[in-house]
Structure 1
Amino acid sequence: MTIAAWIASGLACGLFAAWGALALHFQGPRNRVRRQLLIAVWLLFAFAVVVALRAYPLAAAALYLVAAVLLLAWWRGIRPARDRDWADEVARLATGRVEGDRVIVDHVRNFTWRTTTDYDVRWEQRSYDLNHLQSVDLILSYWGRPGIAHTLVSFGFADGGQLVFSVEIRKQRGEAYSEIGGFFRQFEASIIAADERDIVYLRTNVRGEDCYLYRIHLGEDARRALLLAYVEEANRLAERPRFYNSLTNNCTTVVYRMLSRILRGLPLDVRLLLSGLLPTYIHRLGGLTPAHDPEELRERGRITRRAIEAGHVADFPQRIRRGVPGIDPR
């Protein structure tokens, strides 16, 4: 084997070895010592193969291929779980059904949050008249990384009620979020339906995140179709669990897939992955309030201070929307 071929083969082996080490780290034995020992053995094996490739390329490649197939077979056998000791805020998944012109949503979260560990648990069944669906708002929540945000979609009704959907990791009790772990099947996915006084208040007033709200311009049929798409997606997820994936199955890509079935021809864009930049993507498509540039929409759509000042009040949704372009003051 030539030096160039050996280097190229070694890089390929090294990249796969790194992926395998991370897979073992997140999905290997729960016992820390056993997991670390297994990772060490895997990495030493990969190093030995790279060394052997120079003198015995066919034998070394064949041995590594067998090990890779076994590792991938193990990986494919990992299945998402339905029953674990879930954290309270994701203990129940939203489900729903349509009865005539009404949609009934089960397990709408309406917690009262004081801190991240002190809260009142409350899950509700709510009924919404689809004929009174008036608006769709995008809420982006940032926690320190400008290009990354969590995406929430809030549906508004004529009586002032708001129903928010959020695609989130389904954490086990005591488990912390890991962006890297989101690539390695560490978390199941969940679709949470919630009251704004729960899910927005939690992010602005309790977690200290920075939230921005944008009015999305969709026609009546598209608004209804998106709401029902959320309900259908939630029902499928409750019936058949799936893994959350930081790249392909996250809070933004799930929304894009639903919308792309409603609005044909939506282009793919890197801003679908860098969700913090999502408003500029939607603005380019004409989906935000016209006659305002993205910077003005961002500035006037910042709801963090208004949410903090509002606190636990009945008209929380109306207060946080004051001054947001495209929304009539009430």
Structure 2
Amino acid sequence: MLFMLLDGALRLTMGLCTLWGALALGHRLPLAAPGRHLVVTAWVVAGGGWLWLHWQGARLVPVIGMAGQMTVLLAWWRTLVPARDLDWAEDVAHLATGTFEGDRLTLHHVRCFDWQTRDVARVAWERRVYDLSRLVSVDLFVSSWGRPGIAHVLISFGFRQTGGKDVEFVTFSVEVRRQRGEPFSEIGGFFKRYELAIIAADERDAVRLRSNVRGERVTLYHVTLSPQARRALLLSLVEGANDLAREPRFYHTITANCTTLVFVMMRRIIEGLPMDHRLLLTGLLPAYIHDHGGLVSGYALCELRRRGDITARARHADAEADFSRRIRQGIPGWRSGETSI
């Protein structure tokens, strides 16, 4: 019985190695499609051959063959490094970077696009300066497109403007850095196909793109961090963005995406935050934050989700200058009709 279990485990391992290698080669081998398909086919035939030999009773030869095959593949895999300079898509052409002078934060390359379609926008990148002593809010946007548990997360920081009630927002988004015209593949995100990007954007750009242009459902949650924690989170994001600009990294669908990177930064601020499956299923992140006291108290999560659905308000606000104020009407934690807390 023990030998049967070991044989089964070994065959499963060989099968998984064959599958992983085929996907890795298919997504990352720098050959034209015909050549890449030929190599993938050869890999699968070789892996299947070792499995067949093992099934026929051979033991040592299939293991040595599969091990040698994987050794060559992994040696090549380790040579893949993230790129710094490629022909990037317009919306990820510049990574966020920032500098500090006391309470003065300067963000370089804040994206301020006016989106016309999913792929067409009036392009604008700006240098913006923020007073950290006027940082008054952190909001979480969760944008979903109908796939259970899957969503994109954005974090928006609000700075009270001098002499008024209005608040200016800058939104951070951890995204895939695609090349111009390159489609996105979630499977490819497991196989070093894309670089990682941290983007700073005007809130109307980042939110309207998803709610009005892509037709996604966007929900806003006001996050109840202390002033010190708000500041620490923002500084951590900017430092992470600066590090990424110096040393490119690969995007990974699980280990380096919009939620997991923010969680790593939050753990530097709030000790003891536990790991949770909801950090992998990004659409469930609000439930995780709610359970740890990070959302407005006195409301059930379902009520925060219902009142935080800004999709219709964002579509009505569309081109209005007070877009951020309009989408916050009725949001728990924000005063109705004002962009103030």
Q: What is the aligned partner in structure 1 of residue 13 from structure 2?
A: 12
Q: What is the aligned partner in structure 1 of residue 216 from structure 2?
A: 209
Listed as ranges, the matches of 1:11-30 within 5 Å are: 11-30=12-31
Q: Tell me which amino acid in the other structure corresponds to 2:277.
A: V
Which residues of structure 2 form unaligned runs of 5+? 162-166
Mark the CA change 1:219 to 1:52 in structure 2 (over 3 Å): closer, same or farther.
same
SS at match of 1:155: strand
C-alpha RMSD of matched pairs (Å): 1.2
Shift of 1:116: 1.9
What is the identity percentage for the equivalent residue pairs of Structure 1 and Structure 2?
A: 51
* Superposed CA offset, 1:128-167 (max 9, x none): 0000000000000001113111000000111210010000
Which residues of structure 1 form unaligned runs of 5+? none
SS at match of 1:93: coil
SS at match of 2:67: helix
Q: What is the aligned partner in structure 2 of residue 285 from structure 1?
A: 292
Which of the numbers 155, 165, 172 marks the counterpart of 2:172? Answer: 165
Q: What is the aligned partner in structure 1 of residue 133 from structure 2?
A: 131
SS at match of 1:305: helix
User: Partners of 2:272 and 2:7 in 1: how far apart?
Assistant: 45
Which of the numbers 229, 239, 243 marks the counterpart of 1:236? Answer: 243
Shift of 1:178: 1.1
Higher mean C-alpha deviation, range 1-10 or range 92-101: 1-10
User: Partners of 2:13 and 2:148 in 1: how far apart?
Assistant: 33
Asked if residue 255 in structure 1 is aligned to residue 256 in structure 2, the reply is no
Shift of 1:175: 1.1
Q: Tell me which amino acid in the other structure corresponds to 1:35.
A: R
Shift of 1:119: 1.3
* Superposed CA offset, 1:249-304 (max 9, x none): 00000000000011000011100011111111111101111110000000000011
User: Partners of 1:203 and 1:5 in 2: how far apart?
Assistant: 49
User: Partners of 2:234 and 2:52 in 1: how far apart?
Assistant: 56
User: Partners of 1:184 and 1:216 in 2: how far apart?
Assistant: 34
Asked if residue 116 in structure 1 is aligned to residue 118 in structure 2, the reply is yes
Aligned residues: 330
Q: What is the aligned partner in structure 2 of residue 63 from structure 1?
A: 65
Q: What is the aligned partner in structure 2 of residue 266 from structure 1?
A: 273
Mark the CA change 1:101 to 1:3 in structure 2 (over 3 Å): closer, same or farther.
closer
Q: Tell me which amino acid in the other structure corresponds to 1:26.
A: H
Which of the numbers 89, 94, 116 marks the counterpart of 1:87? Answer: 89
User: Partners of 2:335 and 2:283 in 1: how far apart?
Assistant: 26
SS at match of 1:135: strand
User: Partners of 1:5 and 1:262 in 2: how far apart?
Assistant: 45
Q: What is the aligned partner in structure 2 of residue 175 from structure 1?
A: 182
User: Partners of 1:4 and 1:323 in 2: how far apart?
Assistant: 59
User: Partners of 2:93 and 2:9 in 1: how far apart?
Assistant: 47
- After TM superposition, the score normalised by the length of structure 2 is 0.94
User: Partners of 1:80 and 1:51 in 2: how far apart?
Assistant: 37
Q: What is the aligned partner in structure 2 of residue 104 from structure 1?
A: 106
User: Partners of 1:290 and 1:47 in 2: how far apart?
Assistant: 57
User: Partners of 2:263 and 2:142 in 1: how far apart?
Assistant: 15
User: Partners of 1:269 and 1:102 in 2: how far apart?
Assistant: 35
Listed as ranges, the matches of 1:27-42 within 5 Å are: 27-42=28-43
Shift of 1:3: 5.2
